[in-house]
Amino acid sequence: MVEPLNIALAGLGTVGTGVVRLIETNAELIARRAGRPIRIAAVSARDRTKDRGVDLTQYTWEDDPAALAAREDVDVVVELVGGSDGPALSLARKAIGNGKGLVTANKAMIAHHGLELASAAESAGVALKFEAAVAGGIPVIKGLSEGAAANKIERVYGILNGTCNYILSTMEDTGRDFTDVLEEAQRLGYAEADPTFDIEGIDAAHKLSILAAIAFGSRLRFDAVETMGVSPVKAADIEQARSLGYVIRLIGMAEIDRLDGGVGLFQRVRPHLVPIDHPLAHVDGATNAVVAEGNFMGRLLFQGAGAGDGPTASAVVADIIDIARGEKGAAFSMPASELEDIAPAPTGHRFGRSYLRFIVHDRPGVLAEITAAMRDAGVSIESLIQKAPSDDAGEVIIAVVTHEGPESAVTEAMRILDGSDNLAAQPLVMQIIAN
């Protein structure tokens, strides 16, 4: 008789109930693949009486998630509560401290405390796994830390937030309003408990910092991710971008910067313009996609569902199966002590084309002021569109696409224009992804 792997689940929301459903539905197949059955020994969440659409009566209930980490009959704790600190972190610390494996989908906690938890797991000789934390159901952590393990990777980028991608692509396809589409993404279980994390780019920044650590063998530097979300993007930008041959996507990009003879870690999350014939332009809905460039493998593209109960549960259970097979692995693809401390790249090195959007008062001299600022900052204009006001508010949209050049020149042009009384709103700058 083979001993089961006994797991405890903390958090029974979108992902937690997805995990219960998956383990119950595919129990026999999972046992054959894992070499032994996966048994849910105990569960915990905030509200015991809530109807979650799954029968939990057969599992022991603990009111306090921390109690799961103390149970003798538990081999692996699965943390699906969320939040960078609080109950999730104390549960994670206790589980590892008590010699239990830890599986989590919590990118906020890993981005902030991943190094501490990885070191603790290594010392305790237990597994720490978080495949679901980056790009949901896509096995990108496995792909990079196992499939691409032999490569030097110096660039990784992609679409890392399902909620933002759902909002941007749905607005683009249907012309629907931002708030309305966000509510739909929340109903579908894509958004974080606090959706500000999604729309302000913080969730994507959590994921990017984890990916960068795995891809480059660098220490996590979430604090150094330059982050901007999608809230400043207006329906008019989506329309303008489309007329220029682009779509707008929230892109996370991490790169090793070797300019000026040093080595720096560049990490940025921002809305970008993506040419319509680029593979990332066709990533719609809650789909995520990650591109990684390795010195021997070339370019890899991972694509699939980045959020939602089924795909996320699939990644969580894959981690549990790995542990059942006796695979511990290294949380960040190498021992925590081997991760290099790479300082953030100096700003001002980036080079490329940009899209600049101004909302201005419709009066003489506005265009001249904008083009003069560009000239004085050394920004070369490739195209400029002025859109007639659609209402009688007396405001006009001016969209500028620049030639390739240093981003620092665009920043300087924005500095020159800052505070101008011709501007009716804060200008928006989006970088254009090269083909």
Ligand X SMILES: N[C@@H](CC=O)C(=O)O
Residues in binding site for NADP(+): 10-17
Q: Taking CB under 6 A as the rule, does residue 255 contact ligand X?
A: no
Active site residues: 207
Q: Taking CB under 6 A as the rule, does residue 79 contact ligand X?
A: no
Q: Taking CB under 5 A as the rule, does residue 131 contact Na ion?
A: yes
Strands 246-257 and 264-275: antiparallel
Grouping H, G, I as helix, E, B as strand and the rest as coil, residue 113 is helix
Six token digits for residue 158: 């992609």
- Closest to 142 (Cα-Cα) out of 322, 7, 350: 322
Considering only the stretches 41-49, 144-152, 379-387, 403-411, report the one whose residues sit in contact with ligand NAI under the rule CB under 6 A. 41-49
Six token digits for residue 191: 């958004």
Q: Taking CB under 5 A as the rule, does residue 15 contact Na ion?
A: no
Q: Taking CB under 6 A as the rule, does residue 307 contact ligand X?
A: yes
Of 162, 252, 264, 271, the one binding ligand X by CB under 6 A:
162
Q: Taking CB under 6 A as the rule, does residue 291 contact ligand X?
A: no
DSSP string, 341-358: -PPBPPTT--EEEEEEEE
Known binding-site residues equal 10-17, 107, 192
Question: What angle, 0 to 180 degrees and rounded to 10, lies between the N-to-C axes of helices 162-174 and 178-187?
Answer: 130
Alpha-carbon gap, residue 286 to 418, rounded angstroms:
36
Q: Taking CB under 6 A as the rule, does residue 374 contact ligand NAI?
A: no
Binders of ligand NAI among 105-144, rule CB under 6 A? 105-107, 132, 136
Known binding-site residues for L-homoserine equal 192
In the complex, minimum distance from the CB of residue 354 to ligand NAI, in angstroms, rounded to a whole number: 31
Question: Amino acid identity of 269?
Answer: V
Name which of ligand NAI, ligand X, Na ion, none residue 131 binds, using a CB cut-off of 5 to 8 Å depending on partner kind.
Answer: Na ion
Name which of Na ion, ligand NAI, ligand X, none residue 254 binds, using a CB cut-off of 5 to 8 Å depending on partner kind.
Answer: none
Of 32, 33, 46, 152, the one binding ligand NAI by CB under 6 A:
46
Q: Taking CB under 6 A as the rule, does residue 201 contact ligand X?
A: no
- Evaluate the CA torsion angle 353, 345, 155, 320 in order and state its sign: negative
Q: Taking CB under 6 A as the rule, does residue 190 contact ligand X?
A: yes
Question: Amino acid identity of 119?
Answer: S
- Buried b / exposed e over 20-45, threshold 16 CB at 10 Å, is bbbbeeeeeebbeebebbbbbbbbbb
Q: Taking CB under 6 A as the rule, does residue 294 contact ligand NAI?
A: no
Output Rg (C-alpha) for the chain, integer angstroms: 24
DSSP string, 251-315: EEEEEEE-GGGS-EEEEEEEEEEEETTSGGGG--TTEEEEEEEETTTEEEEEEEE-SSHHHHHHH
Q: Taking CB under 6 A as the rule, does residue 316 contact ligand X?
A: no
Name which of ligand X, Na ion, ligand NAI, none residue 111 binds, using a CB cut-off of 5 to 8 Å depending on partner kind.
Answer: none
In the complex, minimum distance from the CB of residue 197 to ligand X, in angstroms, rounded to a whole number: 7
The residue ranges that bind ligand NAI (CB under 6 A) are 11-16, 45-47, 65, 80-82, 87, 105-107, 132, 136, 189-190, 192-193, 307-308, 312
- What does the binding site for ligand X look like in residue numbers (CB under 6 A)? 136, 161-163, 190-192, 198, 203, 306-307
